Amino acid sequence: MAYTYNVTTDRGKVRFLTRDITSVSSPTKGTDYVFDDAEIDEALSMNSDDVWAAAADACRALAADEILGSIRINLSGFTLDRSKVSDYWSNLADKYEKKSKEGGLVEFVDSFDYQISQSGIDESEYVGDII
């Protein structure tokens, strides 16, 4: 059971997106981190190394864990509601899944040549390659 964190790797990016990070020098699973390196690597493998899709699966796993421990307690006007934690991870998973399907960042325009004539007519044109 290993834990490594290097944000420049795909495994590190999944850890970053799921906030499964710690600064403890000798971390303990379940206390300092959730996923072993092998579990994140498997999520990446199951999703063809798509970081967003792997992070979405990890968030769904976190949601499943949270639903098992969800409680709602109301004592003398004080309410402790852990039932929404699972919803948070599920919503985040949906957002990451959407990013995965959209292909991440897309550049539409790299520059414009703005030209406005003296009569106020926009004569601007696109400069660059169409992506």
Is the whole model's pTM more than 0.75, yes or no?
Answer: no
For residues 47 and 63, is the Cβ–Cβ distance under 8 A?
Answer: no
Smallest CA-to-CA distance from 18 within 51, 46, 42 is with 51
Smallest CA-to-CA distance from 27 within 3, 48, 9, 46 is with 3
pLDDT of residue 29: 85
Average pLDDT of the residues in 78-104? 85
Given a cut of 70, whether residue 122 has pLDDT beyond it is no
pLDDT-derived band at 108, boundaries 50, 70, 90: very low
Smallest CA-to-CA distance from 41 within 74, 76, 17, 14 is with 14
Given a cut of 90, whether residue 114 has pLDDT beyond it is no
pLDDT-derived band at 107, boundaries 50, 70, 90: very low
Residue 65 token pair: 């864990």
Average pLDDT of the residues in 69-77? 80
Packed helices 83-102 and 51-68: angle between N→C axes, nearest 10 degrees:
170
Mean pLDDT of the chain: 82
Average pLDDT of the residues in 89-108? 80
- Phi, psi values for residue 80, rounded to 5°: -110, 115
User: E strands along 2-131, which residues?
Assistant: 72-75, 78-81, 112-113, 125-126
Residue 6 token pair: 């290097």
Given a cut of 50, whether residue 59 has pLDDT beyond it is yes
